[in-house]
Amino acid sequence: MSAGLAILAAAVQHTAQFSLDLSLVVHRLPLWFLVFSLFLPRLTMAVAWFQGTLIPFHLQGIIPPIVWLVLPRGLVLYLIYVDQGVTLWFLIHLLVAVLVFGGSGRYHTRSRRGDGY
């Protein structure tokens, strides 16, 4: 009987060691940045820039403002990757970026056809 309990305890301890943790880890980027940049990435990055939140990422030169202007979700993805790596936040932002870019072409095609051109 005690041998069976020892095997059960060892099995429970073994499975507890390999649990998958899907927690929403936040390192240097604040939680408000991660949430609001899903909906308004340009505005969120501008507020974070003025608050000094993006100073640890050393975004210097002409390239970051151009990317902020042209492809803000790409810059958000870069910041999350540099801060946390490939985490759940990175995957959520990547999914939103794919959905936004995928849906925008359909909207413009539909509006052109409706104009009669």
Q: Residue 101's pLDDT is what?
A: 85
Q: Are 48 and 59 in contact (CB under 8 A)?
A: no
Looking at per-residue pLDDT, the higher value among 24 and 54 belongs to 54
Measured between alpha carbons, how far is 52 from 45 in angstroms, rounded to an integer? 10
Looking at per-residue pLDDT, the higher value among 38 and 64 belongs to 38
pLDDT tens digits, one per residue of 8-33? 566 656 554 545 455 555 578 899 99
Q: Residue 20's pLDDT is what?
A: 47
Domain boundaries, the chain: 28-115
Please state, rounded to an integer, the average pLDDT across all residues of the chain: 79
Question: Model's pTM, two decimal places?
Answer: 0.66
pLDDT tens digits, one per residue of 82-114? 998 899 999 999 999 999 988 876 666 665 665
Q: Residue 47's pLDDT is what?
A: 92
Q: Which residues of 6-40 are buried (b: 16+ CB within 10 A; e: fewer)?
A: eeeeeeeeeeeeeeeeeeeeeeebeeebbebbbee
